[in-house]
Amino acid sequence: MGESKVHVVLVPLLGQGHLIPFMELAQLLASQHLSISYITTPKRVERLQPQVQGSNLDIDLVSLLLPPIDGVPPGMDSKDEIPFHVAEILFSSSHKLAGPFEQWLDGQMNNIKAPNSFPPPVCIISEIYTGWVHSSGAKFGIPTVVFHTYGAFAMSVMHSLFTYMPHNSVEGDDEYFGVPELSFDLKLRKSDLLVKLRHPNSYPLEGFVREEIKQSMEGWGILINTFYDLDSLGIDHMRNLTGRPVWSIGPILPPAVFDDRGIDHESMNSRGKAADIAEEECLKWLDTRSPQSVVFVCFGSHCILNEKQIRAVAVGLEASGQAFIWAIKCLHTETKPKGTDVGLPEGFKERTRERGLLIWGWAPQLLILSHPSVGAFLSHCGWNSTLESVSLAVPMITWPMFAEQPFNSKFLVEKLGIGIQICLDMSSVANEEDVRRAVTMLLAEEEGKNMRRRAQELRKLGKIAIDKAGSGSSYTNLKCFVQEMQQLQAARNDVKGVVTVTDLSIVESCSFHL
């Protein structure tokens, strides 16, 4: 029975913003009758196991020990558990998993059966910042596909910037420069870039990031968590740039996101880590609010605000007079334990008690965004959060902090017209008046209504993209990718050996669906 299976291996970067979409990709592929090995560390297995158990899907969580890394505390193997500067060391050291991974892969290729009884894998799916997987796959003759957890627009811009460094040709921060090789129009200023990119010589990881971005376009093919009607500029560019298959298969979200019959609280609340607030308490508070009257404030799993940043957001929220629900993640100490008013103005909680809900730590983000009372989302613009917000038709107030987030923000503000940016970079502090103005605009002014109408149209297009009955573009691309995997397995069975990257000419290419 094992040889009839088609085995695909997934290797995500360690960190909540990567583990979540990779697990949802695993479930999506397994629902199409592929057998999935999901490579992670022992700590992550414990967290992910509940999502796999009882699913009746052919997913095996493979636990590999991450060797010690200088500068990273023992046992800390996820970016969302440590300060950002330590997280950078962790993600740039993911190649240390190569040894344990290749040892496991050798066992798979030599039919040393694991409990799952999967056959040797036909493909390995990696991502940006796990470029070492390409080398590991090549050693065993296994093709690699890159799954981008970033959007296509932002990925295209980043690739061009790190390849050509056009911002180095201008002097002033407000002088515009062109972005080479893009197949769409875009003008940027240095002030649109993160501080680390404006001054790359002061960024020790600049060379590493440049090489990883380059490698992320070099796999046999590219999967991307987006949909064509949202992200056609970037998708078309990536296809033209690489000449490789680019399958847009998103939005990869729980099906309940697009269920207009009602909210499935269980599936909405199960994504990511356990929340630091009871679902009932959160819903009870939201149920007392008018439709589209609440701004949800959350800066993702990696962004830890300092006291000045927290104060700026708090002052702006209070001045807006609007209702808010705010998930605050900050560094706590023995003298300032979790739940204390770190950074909040004196008396803030008392003055806003009737219209504000504070969550110290993790919030059930999808559950909150899906509630009809939420009309705006103040966010760091990570792609997971961006895609959730678009799919639930919630306009965004953006404060991009790091990575590709500035380009997600530019995409939302300038290309889609469903966002307003208030600040840039994790080292900056937002202007309190900008916070107030943005919240007021989205919740109490006509422009906010216009943005919601545009967001509703994008939500409809996202729902169509994943529609199985109507041959949506993303669903068709998913079926196309699965067909490629099945053909790889068939080719291996025919030649009774390993299908190497150079053997891929025997696989009939499945056409893209736009």
What pTM did the predictor assign?
A: 0.91
Lowest average pLDDT, out of 11-20, 397-406, 499-508, goes to: 499-508
pLDDT score recorded for residue 84: 65
* pLDDT score of 265 more than 90: no
Percent of residues, the chain, with pLDDT higher than 70: 84
pLDDT score recorded for residue 249: 98
Q: Over the stretch 23-63, which tens digit does the pLDDT of each residue have?
A: 999 999 999 999 999 999 888 788 888 888 878 899 999 99
> How far apart (Å, rounded) are the C-alpha atoms in residues 170 and 188?
11
CA 196 to chain centre: 21
* pLDDT score of 72 more than 50: yes
> How far apart (Å, rounded) are the C-alpha atoms in residues 240 and 194?
27
Task: Tell me which of 139 and 201 has the higher pLDDT.
Answer: 139
Percent of residues, the chain, with pLDDT higher than 90: 64
> How far apart (Å, rounded) are the C-alpha atoms in residues 326 and 397?
13
Q: Which helix (H) or strand (E) holds 385?
A: helix 383-391
Q: Which helix (H) or strand (E) holds 315?
A: helix 307-320
Look up the CATH architecture of domain 2-150+220-250+466-506.
3-Layer(aba) Sandwich (3.40)
> How far apart (Å, rounded) are the C-alpha atoms in residues 40 and 14?
7
DSSP letters spanning 264-301: -HHHHHSSSSPPSS-HHHHHHHHHTSPTT-EEEEE-TT
Q: Over the stretch 364-374, which tens digit does the pLDDT of each residue have?
A: 999 999 999 99
* pLDDT score of 191 more than 90: yes
pLDDT score recorded for residue 509: 45
pLDDT score recorded for residue 268: 55
Q: Over the stretch 272-286, which tens digit does the pLDDT of each residue have?
A: 566 788 899 999 999
Mean pLDDT computed over 173-193:
92
Mean pLDDT computed over 195-211:
80
**DSSP β-bridge partners for residue 10:** 38, 125
* pLDDT score of 340 more than 50: yes
pLDDT band at 416; cut points 50, 70, 90? very high
Q: Over the stretch 315-329, which tens digit does the pLDDT of each residue have?
A: 999 999 999 999 998
- Asked whether 246 and 514 are in contact (CB, 8 A), the reply is no
Tokens 């919601």 label which residue? 452
Q: Over the stretch 88-136, which tens digit does the pLDDT of each residue have?
A: 666 667 778 899 999 999 999 987 655 568 999 999 999 988 889 999 9
pLDDT band at 502; cut points 50, 70, 90? very low
Q: Apex CA 179: angle with CA 176 and CA 183, to 5°?
A: 135
pLDDT score recorded for residue 289: 98
pLDDT score recorded for residue 55: 83
pLDDT score recorded for residue 504: 41
> How far apart (Å, rounded) are the C-alpha atoms in residues 223 and 237?
14
- Asked whether 29 and 482 are in contact (CB, 8 A), the reply is yes
Retrieve residue 97's tokens: 């998993």
pLDDT score recorded for residue 495: 67
Mean pLDDT computed over 202-221:
85
Domains 2-150+220-250+466-506 and 259-464 share a fold: yes
- Asked whether 17 and 384 are in contact (CB, 8 A), the reply is yes
Name the E strands within 384-438: 396-398, 419-421
pLDDT band at 506; cut points 50, 70, 90? very low
In degrees and rounded to multiples of 5, residue 395 shows phi and psi of: -60, 155
- Asked whether 375 and 394 are in contact (CB, 8 A), the reply is yes
**DSSP β-bridge partners for residue 248:** 224
Q: Which helix (H) or strand (E) holds 443?
A: helix 432-444
Integer Rg of the chain from CA: 23
Q: Cis omega (within 30 of 0) on the bond before 83?
A: no
Q: What is the pLDDT of the chain when averaged over all its residues?
A: 87
* CATH no. of 259-464: 3.40.50.2000
Phi-psi region of 367 (alpha: psi -120 to 50; beta: other; left: phi over 0): alpha
Give residues with Cβ within 8 angstroms of 72, minimum separation 6.
82, 86, 89, 90, 93
* pLDDT score of 483 more than 70: yes
Q: Apex CA 150: angle with CA 146 and CA 153, to 5°?
A: 105
Name the E strands within 59-216: 59-63, 123-126, 144-148, 176-178, 187-189
In degrees and rounded to multiples of 5, residue 301 shows phi and psi of: -85, -20
Domains of the chain, by residue range, sit at 2-150+220-250+466-506, 259-464
Q: Cis omega (within 30 of 0) on the bond before 251?
A: yes
pLDDT score recorded for residue 399: 98
Nearest to 247 by CA among 485, 489, 412, 499: 485
